[in-house]
Amino acid sequence: MKCTRRSFLGLPSLVTCFARANAADRFGAAGIAPAIGFFGPADPDHATGGDVWKGALLAVEQVNRAGGLTGLPMRIVARWDENPWSGGPGKVVQMAYQDRVWAIVCSVDSAAAHLAEQVAAKALLPVVDPISIDRSVNLANVPWTYSLMPDERVVMVELVRAILDKPWRDSFLLLNATDHDSRVLVVELLKRLCTERLRPLRHWEFRSGVNGAERLAADTASLKPGAVVVLAGIRDSAVMVRCLRRFGPRIGIVGGPAMGRHNFLQAIGNDGDGLVCVVPAVAGAEKERFASEYRGRWGHEPDFSAYYAYDAMRMLFDAIATAGPDRMRIHHELRRLAPWRGVTGTIEWDKFGRNHGKAIVVTIRHGRLVCRASTAEQDLLKERRLP
């Protein structure tokens, strides 16, 4: 056959077709359904991981309705411990060696991703991490871990820009919880503020899940700041915002990604109006289709964690469909697939395995996230694959 430019450019897709056919043969020989582990709570109503589970489960349901993989249904094996630092590694070990999953999607937070990658390094198990913001997850020299969300540097750059745009840039307080992600964010924020020669009037840290938010909010309001930056998890952020609204209704509030989560918006109600927060961008061409299917399945709008969990599962399925039941091949296929287009946008790995994600500043209005950018800025964001 004469090799023309057209036939040459068609070789990659042809190779992929042969690879998928070979993978199908291996699935048939194995006689087992592809199994993906889910390190997180398999509970749609879970305060932190519920929306991640919903997004991941929707992806699996769609794949199986379309015939699964060579007629075999895709299985999702979920294991979790509410005290992940003590019981979490054992759950991941069970999935790796007892359930014999071919890859793992880890949810909830960056701490869960750190725990999963410890086992991945020993079991040679691919881990796709949808929602961690801690870049050190990808700096542990474990090439088996892939992270989809933008890291703390990207998020805090946008948060500092939001502060610089406000008249109260010299009169704000900083409150942060003691959970892992909140501390990661606050360390990066202080670095960025130092670069801009800014400093908060006060910086107070409070223990996660501990009562005392009312006293802290009262002390904060007594200083009459222009605004308060709150970096905490979903529950702690909701409690703190409600208390701040009670003692200082005119105080501006700025927050991190936790304030863009569905459960936070449900918990905060009308007290969230006017609140400014930074969330990961969701800019894929299919995001509206996904949102429609998600609403039909779960009865509410998806938050960014659901989008990213859905993409994690779909990308893993594409990798498994080509690689077959082989962890090493799945790992290499995940790397090879990028750039991969999902509902969150185009996923492209850096050399450490983290996606080149973007973040955006939004304002909460009537329980919804509203982009703060002007029309001209929105056009520019679309060019950069931002919403």
Query: Could you identify the residue written with the tokens 């929306």?
Result: 51
Q: How far apart are CA 200 and CA 172, in angstroms?
A: 5
Which element (helix H / strand E) includes 347? strand 345-347
The residues pairing with 104 across neighbouring beta strands, listed in sequence order, are 37, 127
Sheet with 359-365, side-by-side order of all strands: 203-206, 172-177, 227-231, 252-255, 276-280, 359-365, 368-371
Determine the number of helices (DSSP H) and then strands (DSSP E) in the chain: 14, 14
Q: How many CB atoms lie within 10 A of CB 356?
A: 15
The pLDDT score that the predictor gives to residue 83 is 86
**CATH architecture, range 152-280+360-383:** 3-Layer(aba) Sandwich (3.40)
Identical fold for domains 5-149+284-351 and 152-280+360-383, yes or no, is yes
Where along the chain do its domains lie?
5-149+284-351, 152-280+360-383
The pLDDT score that the predictor gives to residue 360 is 95
Q: Would the pTM count as exceeding 0.85?
A: yes
The three-state DSSP-derived secondary structure of 131-171 is CCCCHHHHCCCCCCEEECCCCHHHHHHHHHHHHHCCCCCCC
pLDDT in tens, the chain (387 residues): 444 444 434 444 443 444 454 555 555 555 567 899 999 999 999 999 999 999 999 999 999 999 998 788 999 999 999 888 888 889 999 999 999 999 999 878 898 888 888 888 889 999 999 999 999 998 887 889 999 999 999 999 999 999 998 888 889 999 999 999 999 999 999 999 999 999 999 999 999 877 789 999 999 999 999 999 999 999 999 999 999 999 999 999 999 999 999 999 999 999 999 999 999 999 888 999 999 999 999 999 999 999 999 999 999 999 999 999 899 999 999 999 999 999 999 999 999 999 999 999 999 999 999 986 533 344 433 433 333
Enter the tokens of residue 102.
């071919």
Given 3.40.50.2300, 3.40.1280.10, 2.60.40.10, 3.30.420.40, which CATH number is that of 5-149+284-351?
Answer: 3.40.50.2300
Amino acid making up residue 169: R
Query: Could you identify the residue written with the tokens 């009308």?
Result: 270
Amino acid making up residue 10: G
The pLDDT score that the predictor gives to residue 195 is 94
Q: How far apart are CA 68 and CA 53, in angstroms?
A: 19
The total number of residues shown for the chain amounts to 387
The pLDDT score that the predictor gives to residue 26 is 56
